[in-house]
Structure 1
Amino acid sequence: MHADASTLSALSLYLSMAAFALACSITPGPVNIVVLTSGVQLGFRRSLGLVLSATAGFCLLLLLIGLGLHQLLDDFPHLTVIIQWAGVAFLLFMAFKLFTSSGDLGNRDRKQRRLSFAGPSALTGAVMQWINPKAWLASIAGMGAYAANGSTSLIWEFTAIYFVICFGSIACWAYAGAFLSRFLGEPARIRLFNRVMAGLLAASALYLVLE
């Protein structure tokens, strides 16, 4: 009976961790907007590198926060401001690249792809996670909720669960973008889509400034 109660308690904890990860990962945000755009530009398979990068970047941050990185924010409070403005600058840069995109899909030759925006690089996802104040706060909140007792095993378990849920959630945005590309087709429609996404990224940057 005691073993069954312990099993149910652990299962309840893991389900709660998974629900937290899903709520944070599946909802719209700058990273998911970029992944959606990548799905439109490059297709699902070629966007998986970006999906993996964003997932690994966040989960590494989550793990390090659990192992004590959050103390940096306590010891150096100005670090939050630096992260915030770095995030604003990067979001505006991505918005500019999207807004000025030619609208061609990612089936051009390699030389042409170097000349204009044909989807973000794989490292973009990880960079966006580390300069996103929301990612730091979500990591601190998550670890505070599920590993506040400092248990190393819980920190690793939460990170592992988060990785699986986060990867699947972000991959859904890449798939949605690939699906949308079937209906956009023409460069003019792609340009319009990119500019809408650029506007959303710029709005995200403005939100960071005003918050």
Structure 2
Amino acid sequence: MNQALLISFLSYAIVTTITPGPNNITATSAGMKLNYKGSVPYLLGIALGFFIVMLIAGSFTSYFTSKNNQLFDIIKWFGAAYILYLALIPFLPVKKKSRSFNNNYSFVTGLGLQMINPKVILYGVTIYSSFNHLIGSSMISVVISSVFLSSLAFVCTSIWAILGTTLFNYFENKTFYYVFNSILALLLVYIAITILLL
């Protein structure tokens, strides 16, 4: 095994997964609203969706990296629209707070986000095309690497959710609540714009 290639792979995977993106930003928001324990179903949904996308990306990298980018173009527009919707969630009026929060940050929502998250799809295509010599192309190696990458995603989103949980008490202050959520919303808007420019 090429040690330099392994270090590059791990560095890329960790840095890309821990940096702000739709998963980590919404995990922070879920942690703030539901605490860490309440956000776990959402985080598990993200991890399972991440696993599915990695499995598909690993199995069909050559198809996704071909010159026909129509599928990716469709996904990125839907993904950007959904990410913009996520940016609005903290500012939408809610009648039944706890119920709405649980619907917005459910297992299914976390899973669904991955299916239209161009950042995750592009990440999967990039990692499997760039590190094919390390990961390999057999189904067993794709499954093992997908389990590893989705576990890493769960750890990273958990870190962000815990960050949100620790800030929970500050959110009784309306100014802090709106400033913090505005920052998160702006990051999501930035991510959506970046995705559209890909």
TM-score with structure 2 length normalisation? 0.83
1:38–1:174 CA contact under 8 A, matched in 2: yes
TM-superposed deviation, 1:111: 4.4
Partner of residue 95 from structure 1, selected from 82, 87, 92: 87
Aligned residues: 196
Shift of the 164–115 alpha-carbon distance from structure 1 to 2, 3 Å rule, reads closer
Structure 1 Cα separation of the partners of residues 88 and 26 of structure 2: 12
2:51 corresponds to 1:66: no
- What residue in structure 1 maps to residue 149 of structure 2? 162
Structure 2 spans left out of the alignment, 5+ residues: none
What's the CA shift string for 1:105-148, capped at 9, x where partnerless? xxxxx944346788523222222222122211110111123335
Q: Distance in 2 between matches of 1:182 and 1:113?
A: 16
Contact 2:28 2:161 in 1 (8 A): yes
CA distance in 2, matches of 1:177, 1:116: 14
Distance 1:10 1:156, change over 3 A: farther
Output the CA distance in 1 between the equivalents of 2:152 and 2:44.
Answer: 12
Counterpart for residue 143 of structure 1: 128
Which of residues 190, 193, 197 in structure 2 aligns to 1:203?
Answer: 190
The answer for the alignment partner of 2:74 in structure 1 is 82
Write the distance in 1 (CA, Å) between the matches of 2:143 and 2:103. 36
1:157 is displaced (CA, Å) by 2.0
Give per-residue Cα distances to partners, 1:35-80, cap 9 Å, x unaligned: 1011111101111111111111111111122122652563852111
**Which one of the candidate residues 36, 47, 59 is aligned to 2:39?**
47
8 Å Cα contact 1:73/1:79 also seen in 2: no
Decide which of 20, 44, 49 is 1:28's aligned counterpart: 20
Aligned-partner SS, 2:105: coil
Q: Which runs of 5+ in 1 are unaligned?
A: 1-8, 103-109
Q: 1:172 aligns to what? A: 159
2:176 pairs with 1:189: yes
User: Taking every aligned residue pair, what percent have the same amino acid on both sides?
Assistant: 26
Look at both structures and tell me which one has the larger radius of gyration over its CA atoms.
1
Counterparts of 1:207 and 1:10 in 2: how far apart (Å)? 33
The CA RMSD over aligned residues, in Å, is 2.8
